[in-house]
Amino acid sequence: MISAEFARQMARYNAWQNRQLAGCLAALDPKELTKDRGAFFGSILGTANHLLWADWLWVSRFDGGPEPGGGIPESVSICADLEEWRPTRLQTDARIADWVDKLEDAALTGELTWHSAVLGQDVTRPYALCVVHFFNHQTHHRGQLHQMLTEAGAEAPVSDLVFMPEEP
């Protein structure tokens, strides 16, 4: 289905997108960050927080490390403001990079089991499918953020993978 190299490229893409996003968010008035925009997670910061929370949760499933705590309803407030969000986002992206650097193709042929608080039970799915979902979920919510930033009259990140800078 996918390879470890695919996961490494997607992790690089995710980190690049989040660095751009951080710059766009920093340029916004703080009131614009927290304004309820009718999105599923309310505001720009609420959506960015949910995305951070979900990334942290999924990488904890992949690497066995600490989870973010709370559930989906609490995900919107994992960070109180941008000053708290930015370093936490960077730490999470570094953790994702560490995980994919150690990922081997063989792991992608197995299964992943975790406890789903939403379902209240253990869930087992193909590992590769979970990895694809992880990166797809990021793209989905960054699309929402792009729309909200555009509506706020702010600059939104360039999201086309083909424009991602080459590694130094």
pLDDT tops 90 at residue 112 = yes
Q: What pLDDT is stored for residue 13 in this prediction? A: 96
Kindly state the greatest CA–CA separation across the chain.
Answer: 47
Q: What is the pLDDT of residues 1-26, one digit of tens each?
A: 899 999 999 999 999 999 999 999 99
pLDDT tops 60 at residue 150 = yes
Q: How far apart are CA 84 and CA 167, in angstroms?
A: 27
The pLDDT of 28-45, averaged and rounded, is 95
**Domain 4-154: CATH superfamily, name plus number:** dinb family like domain (1.20.120.450)
- Please return the burial class of 104, using the count of CB atoms within 10 Å of its CB with bins 0-12, 13-18 and 19+: exposed
Average model confidence (pLDDT) for the chain?
Answer: 95
Residue 140 known to bind ligand: no
Residue 141 known to bind ligand: yes
This prediction has a pTM of: 0.95
- Please return the burial class of 128, using the count of CB atoms within 10 Å of its CB with bins 0-12, 13-18 and 19+: buried
Q: What is the pLDDT of residues 46-89, one digit of tens each?
A: 999 999 999 999 999 999 999 999 999 999 999 999 999 999 99
Residue 137 known to bind ligand: yes
Domain ranges of the chain: 4-154
pLDDT tops 70 at residue 168 = no
